[in-house]
A and B are shown apart, each in its own frame.
Chain A
């Protein structure tokens, strides 16, 4: 069920990213809708599904990008895998937790992206990338972390209603 809803949702998010959210920039940074969805689904206790969301979400993003198909998918699977280690920690109940997790994983997402771009031989300027893309994008992701987490939590409750003992 999570895939039945997740895969079309990720396709729509990739389209919205390409058409609308790439226009809403802070310097050259923009919110990463699919990263937000994958991380939010992961911290919601559904890490295995989040990894599969990472695969499909990454493929949709790559399909609408000049990056080779599969590169962002690998990055998002790794991110979803790392997110799974936040499960069951004492600070999990803190409502600000999604923000902290989002800062960490936004930075990691861009670090992995830079490594892939370097491996592909693309021209890079680290300081420029940090100031114009990575930090502004991380900030925008941070702002959207709480609403994204709440939306995903609601979606999760809708798809998987809590079991009731009778």
Chain B
């Protein structure tokens, strides 16, 4: 058999295997195997994410580095040890600041029960807007649970494995979030754009919306609890010939820079076909 034929046969066999895996996984038959594979992967991912966050935080504070560089040669060894300590402490301070803010938020919303999780990675596909967190079904995380920070809504749990879960972000064009404008009390629907802009659509033309107005979850549809901040209106798009007006919002949470999030664990979202 020629080399090309052998290669073609191998490629066809491998594609069939991958297609088989695709079909089995869509049927949910590979969930136990995926759990088994994701367990060590998410452990390594958590380990790498923690180290990466520490290094990134250190690089973001150049004054500390400049100060350290200025130390004399005799103290270099000591500095190296101190530097390591500083990295670890800075990371702890940053983490405790985030946790303290999250705790204050949790205290201000006593009706909700929260579970904190570290963000350990982003989706490997640039076309999918989601992140991975280091909590999964082992600690009771379920699909559909809302994910927030002290600033507002982050998204919802889209996929759950034993030790990790994928969070669909509010910037994902496929997410469904019913919202309400705080002052005008008008309802709308979040409409994230592929460009990264976030719009709120389906707002009545009669309503006066002004920039700066806060956008909150409305609780309609039972997918999210009501009154979680989503963003702030930055501009209004109103055309007379259209049935509804749209507003462009600045999200409350910078979803590109997430470190720790809270999952609302006592909220049971209603499931629909569009929101499985």
Interface residues of A (CB under 8 A from B): 11-12, 14-20, 22-23, 28-30, 47-48, 51-52, 54-55, 58-74, 77-78, 80-81, 84, 113, 117, 122-125, 128-129, 132-133, 137
Query: Are B18 and A58 interface neighbours, CB within 8 A?
Result: yes
A54-B14, A64-B121, A69-B25 known; A113-B127 Cβ under 8 A: yes
A28-B126, A122-B127 known; A77-B11 Cβ under 8 A: yes
In the complex, which residues of chain A have a beta carbon less than 8 angstroms from the beta carbon of B41?
11, 14-15, 60, 63-64
12 sampled A-B residue pairs with Cβ under 8 A: A15-B45, A18-B121, A55-B14, A63-B34, A64-B132, A65-B124, A66-B128, A70-B23, A70-B25, A77-B14, A78-B11, A80-B11
In the complex, which residues of chain A have a beta carbon less than 8 angstroms from the beta carbon of B195?
125, 128, 132
A19-B48, A84-B7, A117-B127 known; A66-B14 Cβ under 8 A: no
In the complex, which residues of chain A have a beta carbon less than 8 angstroms from the beta carbon of B132?
18, 64
Contact of A137 among B23, B123, B126 (CB under 8 A): B126
Query: Are A69 and B10 interface neighbours, CB within 8 A?
Result: no
In the complex, which residues of chain A have a beta carbon less than 8 angstroms from the beta carbon of B26?
68
- Complex Cα distance, B128 from A30, in Å, reads 13
Interface residues of B (CB under 8 A from A): 6-8, 10-11, 14-15, 17-23, 25-26, 30, 34, 37-38, 41, 44-45, 48-49, 52, 56, 120-128, 130, 132, 158-159, 166, 168, 173-174, 194-196
Given contacts A19-B120, A23-B122, 20 further A-B contacts (CB under 8 A): A11-B44, A15-B45, A18-B122, A18-B124, A18-B132, A19-B49, A20-B48, A23-B56, A55-B14, A55-B17, A58-B18, A64-B121, A64-B123, A65-B128, A70-B21, A74-B15, A81-B8, A122-B174, A123-B173, A133-B127
